[in-house]
């Protein structure tokens, strides 16, 4: 459910997932290093923009359906936001370790002892569809299309 | 003045003395909710019957000779991204519109143990993504100081409820300023404790390395009282800090002589409203008059905080929000195969800002862009943390504006996501560094409150509160009530004549 416990490491999982999906087909337009200015860029020529195909591709990775007009909007909005993020390129971060988390905590251990949890009825109470003691979902295999 | 306009501390005193009953306090809040809610719309769910029942139980226990708990009989409003068993928790999102949680958040358990009574669940920007409450999927909340203006966000409902007297105090969550900025806009006290101070168990995750629950209150003493109730280690949250929890009211001495107050110059530059600068400047002068050692300092990487935050937070969000898949809870789209169902569920269930951030985060984490964006932002985060560490070698607290502007008008920034992001520029660095910070009212500009932010060392909320309390003792900004509440007090009707 909404456990606050493991979601930091879940980011790492998502990274691996996205990596594996994207590596063979990196379709984002990259600007050659030499064309980049360390700060700012030539007027009227964004150093990096997200085209409509890229928007569709990222939406597919994020499992988001988009209407056509949203593809146009997101392309413009994300490009503008990322243009602002380009500011980070000014920073020399050579040898600077990344901060994923501010606390000096390592693994938090607990006794592997049984504890009360949700009952089956409680766990299923919010299910959009159920059958017996199971969450019911549409067929996953043999759907064709992109239902890989 | 109605009972619902008093502070928690004053109500506690009167309850303990037997001058008033908890049921009277509960009824005063519910009457105020009836009077102002058609205009303010701070609540998504009002739990009136539960509030009265809990208050009557407290009164009965008192009659049986039980001692009054620290927050006994006080109505609390809780942001709708914190779960309370059996009460709908929507995150102001269509995707969770009908979600009824089967368990209590740790903070909800702790407040109940301290005697607080739930008044309702408050409006917010969907999944806490926004700075104005306009991203709620249901309706915007309005600022009790001026209904044409936003209450701030994302905890705008919690801030408006406290300012309008609909609850005695509230809980919010703060990922990039979502407690402090609405507190500033609504003229109340709002604190983001140190990361790890308050358990996140039962807080619907947005950006897990930044999210922190905290109080919104009428004054600094109330803030300390609520912190006493909600802070502390929780084995159910692996990022909860095993730090001892002091009595936060101990530090409220009214004394700041010798306190070293740093003024980071980067927070007073371009983009900060001159009137806000003026009010904050006057607050800094007051600290000097009270004997604090005030000096300018520099946090040189401040200008990179916004870019780092709006990569890190969406990256974490894109992962956290992957759980909304239409299977275990929440909305499910009618669609044929599994993947189409998943995609359409998320299209129908998430609003535009949430989808935008999922897209931004997915992009920032994707291959070929991970190093340039997510990793670079995480390195910038290290540099921002180091800036604070160095400043805190010389200073005990740092003071800045909470927000570059006072409450803006509804619709003013809604069309431009980047303009909305800039509203958080003074609060975001604090989340990146995991530090405690409070916003307190420090002046008024054309009838709208201005907030002062006081930032402290990790786990040193006490010194932050000490500085805030001393300031409060020498000013009366925290005693002012919005025109809406004043009109109700005198006429029994809302300022705009609406009585349900």
Q: Which of B195, B327, B366 sits opposite A61 (nearest CB)?
A: B366
Best of B365, B383, B433 to disrupt the A interface by mutation (most A CBs within 10 Å)? B365
Contact A4 B237 (CB under 8 A): yes
- Give the tokens for residue B255: 């004394």
pLDDT surpassing 50 at residue B497: no
> Is residue B335 in some structural domain?
no
Distance (Å, whole) CA B173 – CA B182? 11
Asked whether residue B45 is assigned to any structural domain, the reply reads: yes
Cβ-in-10-Å burial (0-12, 13-18, 19+) of B415 comes to exposed
For residue B97, give the chain A residue with the closest CA: A126
As a whole number of angstroms, the distance between CA B225 and CA B232 comes to 14
- Quick check: helix, strand or coil at residue B45? strand
How far is it, in rounded angstroms, from Cα B365 to Cα B175? Answer: 19
Above pLDDT 90, what percent of chain B? Answer: 91
B154 annotated active-site: yes
Q: What integer pLDDT is reported at residue B361 of this predicted model?
A: 97
> Based on the structure, what is the number of domains in chain B?
1
d(CA B498, CA B14): 31
B178 in catalytic set: yes
Q: Is the pLDDT of residue A30 over 90?
A: no
Find all residues with CB under 8 Å of B55, minimum gap 6, and list them: B21, B22, B23, B25, B26, B73, B75, B117
More confident residue, A7 or B420: B420
To the nearest whole number, what is the mean pLDDT of chain B? 95
Listed range (A13-17, B281-285, B405-409) with the worst mean pLDDT:
A13-17
The answer to whether residue B420 is domain-embedded is: yes
Cβ contact (<8 Å) for B367 and A19?
yes
Tell whether B325 is covered by a domain: no
Mean pLDDT of A132-140: 91
- Has residue A9 got a pLDDT over 50? no
Going by C-alpha positions, the residue among B33, B192, B29, B58 that lies closest to residue B116 is: B58
Burial A3-27 (b: 16+ CB within 10 A, else e): ebbebbebbeebbeebeeebeeeee
Residue A65 is nearest to which of B310, B347, B458, comparing CB atoms? Answer: B347
- Band (pLDDT 50/70/90 cuts) for residue B486 is low
Considering chain A, what is the average pLDDT of its residues?
Answer: 72
Q: Is B301 exposed, middle or buried (CB count within 10 Å of its CB: 0-12, 13-18, 19+)?
A: buried
Residue B497 located in a structural domain: no
Q: Give the mean pLDDT of B13-21.
A: 97
Asked whether the beta carbons of residue A66 and residue B315 sit closer than 8 angstroms, the reply is no
CA A38-A44-A47 angle, 5° bins? 40
- Could you identify the residue written with the tokens 């159910």? B236
Selected residue of B193, B379, B392 to mutate for chain A interface (largest A Cβ count, 10 A): B379
Backbone angles phi, psi at A62, to 5 degrees: -85, 0
Taking the C-alpha atoms of residue A141 and residue A139, their distance in angstroms, rounded to an integer, is 6
Q: What is the pTM of this model?
A: 0.90
CATH number of the domain at B59, please: 3.90.1300.10
Size of chain A in residues: 148
Return the DSSP state at B407: P
The per-residue pLDDT for range B310-332, each reduced to its tens digit, is 999 999 999 999 999 999 999 99
Say yes or no to pLDDT of B335 above 90. no
Q: From the CA atom positions of chain A, what is the Rg in Å?
A: 22
**Catalytic annotation, pick one of B93, B132, B173, B178:** B178
pLDDT band, very low/low/confident/very high, at A146 (cuts 50, 70, 90):
low
> In a mutagenesis test of the A interface, which of B363, B375, B378, B457 is the best target, namely the one with the most A β-carbons within 10 Å?
B363
Q: Which chain A residue lies closest to B348 (C-alpha atoms)? A: A65
Could you tell me the pLDDT band of residue B48, with boundaries at 50, 70 and 90? Answer: very high
Report the C-alpha gap between B280 and A5 in whole angstroms.
Answer: 38
Contact between B196 and A105 using a beta-carbon 8 Å cutoff: yes
Domain range enclosing B166: 3-303+380-491
In the prediction, which pLDDT does A24 show? 31
Residue A78: its chain B contacts at CB < 8 A? 356, 359-360, 363
Whether A47 has a pLDDT exceeding 70, the answer reads no
């Amino acid at each position: 459910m909404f456990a606050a416990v493991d979601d930091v490491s879940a980011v790492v999982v998502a990274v691996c997932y996205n990596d594996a999906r994207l590596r063979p087909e990196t379709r984002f337009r990259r600007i050659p290093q030499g064309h980049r200015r360390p700060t700012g860029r030539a007027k009227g020529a964004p150093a990096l923009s997200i085209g409509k195909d890229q928007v569709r591709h990222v939406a597919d990775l994020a499992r988001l359906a988009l209407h056509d007009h949203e593809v146009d909007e997101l392309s413009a909005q994300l490009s503008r936001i990322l243009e602002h993020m380009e500011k980070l390129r000014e920073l020399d971060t050579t040898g600077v370790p990344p901060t994923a988390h501010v606390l000096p905590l390592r693994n938090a251990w607990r006794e592997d002892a049984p504890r009360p949890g949700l009952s089956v009825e409680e766990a299923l109470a919010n299910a959009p569809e159920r059958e017996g003691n199971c969450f019911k979902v549409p067929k996953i295999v043999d759907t064709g299309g992109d239902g890989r | 003045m109605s009972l619902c306009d008093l502070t928690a501390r004053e109500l506690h005193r009167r309850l303990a003395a037997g001058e008033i009953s908890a049921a009277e306090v509960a009824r005063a809040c519910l009457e105020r909710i009836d009077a102002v809610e058609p205009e303010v719309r701070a609540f998504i769910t009002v739990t009136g019957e539960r509030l009265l029942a809990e208050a009557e139980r407290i009164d009965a226990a008192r009659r049986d000779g039980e001692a009054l708990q620290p927050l006994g009989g006080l109505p609390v409003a809780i942001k709708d991204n914190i779960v309370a068993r059996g009460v709908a928790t929507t995150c102001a999102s269509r995707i969770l519109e009908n979600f009824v949680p089967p368990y209590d958040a740790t903070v909800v358990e702790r407040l109940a143990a301290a005697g607080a009574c739930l008044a309702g669940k408050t409006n917010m920007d969907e999944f806490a993504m926004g700075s104005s409450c306009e991203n709620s999927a249901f309706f915007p909340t309005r600022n009790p100081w001026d209904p044409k203006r936003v209450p701030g966000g994302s905890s705008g409902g919690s801030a408006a409820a406290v300012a309008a007297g609909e609850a005695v105090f509230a809980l919010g969550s703060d990922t990039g300023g979502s407690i402090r900025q609405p507190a500033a806009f609504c003229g109340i006290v709002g604190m983001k404790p140190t990361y790890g101070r308050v358990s996140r168990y039962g807080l619907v995750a947005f950006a897990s390395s930044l999210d922190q629950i905290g109080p919104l209150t009428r004054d600094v003493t109330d803030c300390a009282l609520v912190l006493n109730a909600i802070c502390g280690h929780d084995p159910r949250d692996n990022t909860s800090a095993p730090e001892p929890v002091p009595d936060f009211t101990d530090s409220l001495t009214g004394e700041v002589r010798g306190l070293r107050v740093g003024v980071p110059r980067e927070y007073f530059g371009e983009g900060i409203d001159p009137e806000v600068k003026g009010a904050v400047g006057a607050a800094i002068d007051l600290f000097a008059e009270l004997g604090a050692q005030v000096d300018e300092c520099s946090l040189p990487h401040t200008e990179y905080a916004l870019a780092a935050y709006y990569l890190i937070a969406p990256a974490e969000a894109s992962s956290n929000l992957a759980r909304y898949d239409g299977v275990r809870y929440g909305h499910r789209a009618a669609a044929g195969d599994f993947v189409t169902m998943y995609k359409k569920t998320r299209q129908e269930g998430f609003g535009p800002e949430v989808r935008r951030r999922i897209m931004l985060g997915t992009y920032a984490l994707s291959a070929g862009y991970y190093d340039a964006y997510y990793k670079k932002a995480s390195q910038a985060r290290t540099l921002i943390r180091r800036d604070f560490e160095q400043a805190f070698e010389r200073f005990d607290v740092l003071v800045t504006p909470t927000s570059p502007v006072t409450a803006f008008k509804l619709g003013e920034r809604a069309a431009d996501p980047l303009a909305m992001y800039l509203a958080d520029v003074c609060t975001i660095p604090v989340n990146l560094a995991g530090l405690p910070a409070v916003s307190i009212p420090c002046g008024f500009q054309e009838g709208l409150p201005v907030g002062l932010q006081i930032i402290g060392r990790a786990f040193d909320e006490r010194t932050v509160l000490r500085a805030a309390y001393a300031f409060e003792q020498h000013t009366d900004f925290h005693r002012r009530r919005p025109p809406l509440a004043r009109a109700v007090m005198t006429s029994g009707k809302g300022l705009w004549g609406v009585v349900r």
